[in-house]
Structure 1
Amino acid sequence: MASISIPVLVLWGDEYPFTPVDGPVGKYFSSLPSQLSNVKLIVLEEVGHCPRDDGPDLVQEKLLP
């Protein structure tokens, strides 16, 4: 990730059953915004594995700005 210089927006569903935000992969991505200025992480509430299906309005709200 350190070699990526373009802006990165990570949308993560807090109800993702396979890769929870408090698991190893989730912790890695949660740590990135404090290490890399181009990375932003947004945890979407009540959203699971497919954010665009589980919370399309939330995803659109975060992508449009």
Structure 2
Amino acid sequence: RDQKLKFDGREYAAKLENPDFQKLADAYGLDFYQANSSDQLNESIKKSFKVNQPSFIEVPVGPMPQPW
């Protein structure tokens, strides 16, 4: 976000992107759930408690507002 303001949108030094969270969960042997709504989040949490082991729940969000 800061680059958009300070460098006119140009990327400097690194482009930060999220990893493939499903592959990350698979690499650690975790159950993976993706929740795109509050209903899906509730279901994912219920499922993760039922398996009684660590789980990974991805909750995609939109762009973050500039804090300053």
Q: Which TM-score applies when normalising by structure 1?
A: 0.32
Give the number of the structure with larger relative contact order, counting CA–CA contacts within 8 Å between residues 6 or more apart: 1
Task: Normalising by structure 2, report the TM-score.
Answer: 0.31
Structure having the higher Rg: 2
